[in-house]
Amino acid sequence: MQIEVKEPGTGVLLHLDAKPENYQGKHGMRIRYPNGANFFIIAQSGAWRSADHHHVAPRFLINIGMALEGRKLSEQVVDHSNI
């Protein structure tokens, strides 16, 4: 599925591909950028976490989770203090 995710530091809208996957016995989502780069995330204790040793910023994971839940784009986190 295609998801729209705001990059929390800039507010730039990203179009990512999200596909369910089983990785090393864990069920989660493979998130893929348009350039092919990707990472695997799992839902754990009510939050999304990277599960394949890629560093993913916590606020970016929050926004990905909101997109996966089908929440409004306006609810996603943007930290304008970094701009």
Quote the pLDDT of residue 82: 54
- pLDDT tens-digit series, residues 46-60: 899 999 989 999 999
* Position 83 pLDDT exceeds 50: no
Quote the pLDDT of residue 79: 85
Distance CA 80, CA 66 (A): 19
Nearest of 5, 20, 17, 1 to residue 57 by alpha carbon? 5
- pLDDT tens-digit series, residues 13-72: 999 999 999 999 999 999 999 999 999 999 999 899 999 989 999 999 999 999 999 999
Longest CA–CA separation in the chain, Å: 39
Confidence (pTM): 0.89
